[in-house]
Each structure stands twice: as structure tokens, then as C-alpha cells.
Structure 1
């Protein structure tokens, strides 16, 4: 996968054939272009490039999107960057294990986890993989199949988001929120109904499932996206739920799965994406990789040393594991 790197250092580097006194005149324009470029992609879902969104429904495990790097500025931290980069907080931290998420050094190069292996079982509709805190939307436009993914927040310990197959039952813009009994027990001071507005934890959009315990919604606390903090519902960044809301309808299938290990392929190369197995459901990680390789088929062979390293790192990034 190609890595796109946006750094102030690259822009400020002098041209070998241009005197610095002349090249500096262009610096404000270059910095403005960089700022505008970042602003256009800030808070965005992935992939942004339509070509990278196209997948073949006959080939399981496609790798979509591309990782990027970002140079931290003064007083920036990973908590704030996650929202602006359109990625989940935990995903960003795992992709950058050597960087202090709260007090990172200015100028540190951060990997943005904006690439992913699409789960084997993903079909047109919504697939939510709890293990990676990510939602996939697959849809068809004529003869083409496209995918995009969004980071999510899910249920905390004791209030876990359930697994299973569901469908969209209802949709609402500017929803009111009636706290369920479980939430009211914890917070008895809540009103009977929370009206739409900045204090409403559902945000601006609600997508209800046929299991009335849960739904997909926005949030008035974006920093909870990419974490296990909800009472069971799936929360998305405000910008993402606004996009998803208009792409689904009543009856859209929703599959909630748990797959911490995903093997995929791009350009005849194998990629392994590994997340922590929080629920302890994978007894033998290597056996799981080999099982998925058998399902993928193809002529590429696994480099088992690379596989072992990816299983140990659990970076959440698609890592090349093809044998040379």
C-alpha cells in the first residue's frame, strides 16, 4: 500500500536550484494549500478515494484505503487528532505504540490507521466488527460494489454490544432520547425525555435496529468514539453518522461480528490485520490465520515469521505477510 506523507518539513525544504530568499515567498501559499488539503479531509470516513472504495464481491478480504502519516504540531495530542483524522482513539494509539497519546513530542510522525481488511463475512449493508471498533458499509452502484468504513464506540464491560444479525427498523433526524431503566438506575437525575440539542447523547441522527435494545447514533461526546464506553449502542462521529444516515433505509441488513484477526489481499499480496482479542474468543491465533488463508486460496504464500510478528504487535494495521 502506498503511504501518503504530509509534513511541514517537506514543504519547507529549500529547492536546490532556487535561492531561499525567493523560495520563501511561496511558503505562505504552500502552507495554505496544506491547511486546505487537511481541512477537506478532516473528520472524513475512509476510503476517501472512490477507486480505493471499489471492491470485487468475488474476492474475499480486500484491503481498502491507504495509511497516512501526520506530523504533530504544537500542543496536539492523539485524543484530539483521532476525531480530526476520522479514526478511532484506540486504533490511533495502537498504531503508534511508541508515542505518548497525551503528551506526544511536537514534530512526532503519527501513523493514521486509514486502511483496513474488509471482513470475510461482510455483505451489502452494514457490518460492525466489535473487535476493531469499526463499521463497514457496503453498497452497489450499478455493476460496481463499494465500501467505506467508520470508527465506532461500543458497549462497555457489563453492557456489551450484542453479536448477531439485525436490520434497520427505523430512522430519525434530531431524535429525542428516553433513558432506559438501566441508564436511569445509574443516573436518576436524568429527565424523562432528553429533547434534541447539545445535551442529547444521541446527537443529530438515530438508526434503530429491530433489536430494540440497541441502535446506531451520533454523539455529543465525540471522544468516546473508538472506545468501549456506551451502554450497548453503537456511536459514530457526528460527521460520519450524518453520511451513514442517508445511505441506509428500513430493512438494510446489519451484522454485528467479532473478528480480531483478518487476513486479506491486495495486488496479489497478503496482508494481516490483528487487533487485541478482548473477549478471548481466539484460542489459537496462528491456526486462525491458516484457516483464513485456506479460504482466500490463491498462489501467495505466507511468511510465518511476519505472521508471528503481526500477531504479537496487534497494531490494527494491515501488515504485509506474503513470502518473498
Structure 2
């Protein structure tokens, strides 16, 4: 009988990628945890071969334990932009539920501890709260070594290019501009990755629990300067795209929700990179990572 892996956020970007990769791998039964098991996305997962169970990180610990009961493994991604300061509380609760329910392998989607690395200078809650959840998970693994924990760190999503960070027509009408707070004077390129690569990485980690026990696997399909990103978009679209650097102090004044948070994130990227002091070679040994050029081939940006 195949072991069960339960996936939080199964209808979202990271969780959905993990579900698809596990189904393709075929070595595990997949239990998709969803807020609404009757949504169209949930019905699609069921049609693809998943067991779909109602469960969310906001549920009680007892309800979460019931939803993941019998699971060998759990993939957990927490959503700061939905829950904000509650992210740590919910993430720790799910980890505790996994521990008490007898889960053997928890794979958590984490991020670098910006405050710790910058000696308190750079505050990026959607990174630091995940880092605190990771610390809690590691403490649980110390209490019970047979509770294996592993960690995937995501980079800046390629999906953000052309969406959150749009490609705009320049004033001359003959060229385009991509604007980012990635400092051209930094010696550290911007790590970027396709969110769909999370799934194959998680699948590979679940298949080798001992090898990845306590290990952080960061990934980036490309590491590029702002100019290099613009050149890749130019190549893919056949249009002239130039890079426009927005200083983080300016970006922080834009006023939309999350502007300060994103500006601080880029302060961290510009000074330390996404994966400070981590072994960035691990991911490419698990799966073939998607480069920006390849991503743009599959997901073209239309410029009018």
C-alpha cells in the first residue's frame, strides 16, 4: 500500500506544483488539503487522482490532526499575505499537529531569516516568520529524531515578471521597460525561479528522507542582473525591453499594500542575496530547474 503525503495549499501555486509532481512520480498517494473541497480546483484534483480533504491552517489542531491522520509525509506552505502576523501561529500549529499525528516527514517551504542575517537591520516579516516556523519544526525534530523535517527555499518568482512587475511601454512608444528594485550596483544577481519547480524538488526530498533530514534546499533557475532580465524578455518577445532600477526607498513610497515589505525584501536581496551562505547546488541535483529563457518560452509575455 502506497504511503500518503498530505499537501497544504493544494489548490495554490506551490501546493499545486507539489501535488502534480507527486502524482507524476506515482510512488505516493496524494491527499490534497483544501479550504473548499467542492471548488472547481478541488474537483479537478480529485479527477486527477487525489483524495481531497477539507483542511486549512486556521482550523483547530485537532481538526488538522484528523485531516492528516495516516499520512507518512506532509508538505506545508504558509501564506503570509493571507494571514500576516498570524502566519507563525498557524505554521507552528500545523507542525505540532504533524508531530502528534505521527507524520514521519514534514517538508516546509521556508525563507531566509533576514533579521538574523542582517543583525536586525532588515525586517521582512514574510521571510522572518517562516524562519521562526522552521526553528520550531527543527526543535520538534530534536525531540523525536524519527520526525524528519526538510526545507525548500523559494526565490523571487518568475511568475512576478509581467504581472506584479509589469513590462510597460516607454514614453518614446518604440521600446518597453521592466522596473525592479534590484540594484545594478550590487555584485549579487537576483535569484529567480519558476514556482512549478517546487513540486519536483519536494517529490525528490520525500523520496530520500534520510539524505535531506534537516537540510535546506534553495533553488533558482536563473541568477540575473536587472539588465540581464530585460535582455531575456527582449529575446523572448522580439521587442526592445530596457531595465529601470527603482531604488528601494522610492519603491517603499508607492503606497500599495506590501510596498514597504517588498522594498525591504529587495534590500535583503541586494545586500545578501536570497540564499545567504546556503548550498545552492543541491536543487539542480534533484531536478532540472527552469531557466528564465525557458520559462518565457512556455509563458510568453505579450507586448502590444
- Structure 1 or 2, whichever has the larger Rg, is 1
Q: Which TM-score applies when normalising by structure 1?
A: 0.22
